[in-house]
Amino acid sequence: MRKGIVICVVAAAFAAGSAYAQSGPTGLWKTVDDKTGQAKSLVRIYEDNGKIFGKVEKTLRPDAKKTCDKCPDERKGQPMVGLVVIRNLRKDGDEYSGGDIIDPDTGKIYKCKITLADGGKKLAVRGFIGFSLIGRSQTWTRETE
């Protein structure tokens, strides 16, 4: 009896930990090009001093650029792997916003907001200029680690 209770408690703790991990945006995400539908990269979303950032961990296209030659800021010429593409997002209700995202292919920097979907398995990523109606959206999928 006691052994069964211990097993149930341990299983519940693992399930709660897994649910908690899915409740926030941190983790590894597969990005998909909104124009072609092709997988582009794996991006690591992480928190630093209460802000959310995203860094390219791996490119998935054989024709992917090696460096961000079109980046207009301090990221110009930096290797694509390791490039911080999402910066300074803060939690605002059910979404994270207030920061920016860069399109390394064009060098354009957009305001950004992200929202978890499908129980934390997907990430709705919106880059926009001015206000959210004018912009581009992508849906990223959570990768298991």
CATH number at residue 122: 2.40.128.520
**pLDDT per residue as tens digits for the range 85-102:** 999 999 999 999 999 999
* DSSP, res 118: G
pLDDT at 22: 55
Residue 119 region by backbone torsions, left for phi larger than 0, else alpha for psi between -120 and 50, else beta: left
Q: Domain range for residue 68?
A: 24-142
Beta bridge partners of 136: 127
- As to burial, measured by CB atoms within 10 angstroms (0-12 exposed, 13-18 middle, 19+ buried), residue 124 is middle
- Would 16 be classed as within a structural domain? no
Could you give phi then psi for residue 108, rounded to 5 degrees? -80, 140
- Would 2 be classed as within a structural domain? no
Determine contact, residues 53/88, Cβ cutoff 8 Å: yes
Q: Which residue has the higher pLDDT, 62 or 5?
A: 62
